[in-house]
Structure 1
């Protein structure tokens, strides 16, 4: 059995996309996964499976979530090693501002990476590493133009977490 970490996109936003942690656990277990645990209510779930295909795992989870909730829940799955690498990679930036990580469904092409990194400014920087995009934002982070929506425009489906959550998950589940 291998352990994976799933990141659910766009849940617990408004009244219509509620997905409490206990319900996530129940849906993941009903889909046949074991050793299921969640962390905070933003859609972070650890589980074990004999499946090895990330695409098959994501598909099984997304089907289970749709059946349980009645709405689509895009899910990005990473190995423990990948999660630790994402957290470790953040240390190389030496950035003192706000740091978010957009977790991508698919690995971006070199041309797509070039486009997203080209929208960087002195106050807002995107650094792509594998299926993770580190968003390094300045003091006016709440007014940033470099957002997960920008990342999705250039690189496809993604979900976003702050670096504190990524590091906590890497330490807890990595």
Structure 2
């Protein structure tokens, strides 16, 4: 059965969007997921399923999560190979920018078109960089990043449905779940 790593957007952000790990596991199993694992309480889920389409997996999880929580939970799924490639890109980009203070990876539901990629990457400056590779956008923030042209929230809005994780979470999950 295929394995997926799913990232849940906008959960546990306040009193009205609580979604504890035990409930995430139960809802994922209700959607047909097996061998369900979670990592920290920010919506990182590994599962196996008989579904072979990423879109079907995301839709099934989103339905189950809505039923469990009463609110929509956008879900972005990757195969282990896709997540491993994102982590490899993250490592490469971080090594090329040893001065970085923060590295966020925006995980995208859909790959943005070339025009959007060009627009967000053009925001890069001497302090910060935006690099889009497929369904992931890397935002590397350097010293004094607040003075730069890259606004992570504006960038995320430009890219469509997305959720972000920091460098450490992405590489940890790839090492843990994608080997």
The TM-score normalised by the length of structure 2 is 0.92
Distance in structure 2 (CA, Å) of the matches to 1:12 and 1:143:
30
User: Is the 2:62–2:72 Cα contact (8 Å) retained in structure 1?
Assistant: yes
Equivalence for 2:97 = 95
**Structure 1 pair 128/54, CA: closer, same or farther in 2 (3 Å)?**
same
Distance in structure 2 (CA, Å) of the matches to 1:67 and 1:13:
19
Shift of 1:146: 3.2
Equivalence for 1:44 = 44
**Structure 1 pair 171/66, CA: closer, same or farther in 2 (3 Å)?**
same
User: Is the 1:151–1:158 Cα contact (8 Å) retained in structure 2?
Assistant: no
Shift of 1:92: 2.1
**Structure 1 pair 112/29, CA: closer, same or farther in 2 (3 Å)?**
same
Flag structure 2 segments of 5+ consecutive residues without an equivalent.
none
**Structure 1 pair 167/112, CA: closer, same or farther in 2 (3 Å)?**
same
Shift of 1:153: 2.3
**Structure 1 pair 162/122, CA: closer, same or farther in 2 (3 Å)?**
same
Equivalence for 1:123 = 127
Distance in structure 1 (CA, Å) of the matches to 2:63 and 2:47:
16
Distance in structure 2 (CA, Å) of the matches to 1:127 and 1:68:
35
User: Is the 1:2–1:50 Cα contact (8 Å) retained in structure 2?
Assistant: yes
User: Is the 1:148–1:159 Cα contact (8 Å) retained in structure 2?
Assistant: no
What SS is found at the alignment partner of 1:50?
coil
Equivalence for 2:17 = 17
1:164 to 2:156 alignment: no
Task: Report the more deviating stretch, 137-146 or 38-47.
Answer: 137-146
Aligned length: 174
What SS is found at the alignment partner of 2:19?
coil
Distance in structure 2 (CA, Å) of the matches to 1:17 and 1:142:
29
Shift of 1:152: 2.9
**Structure 1 pair 92/26, CA: closer, same or farther in 2 (3 Å)?**
same
1:106 to 2:110 alignment: yes
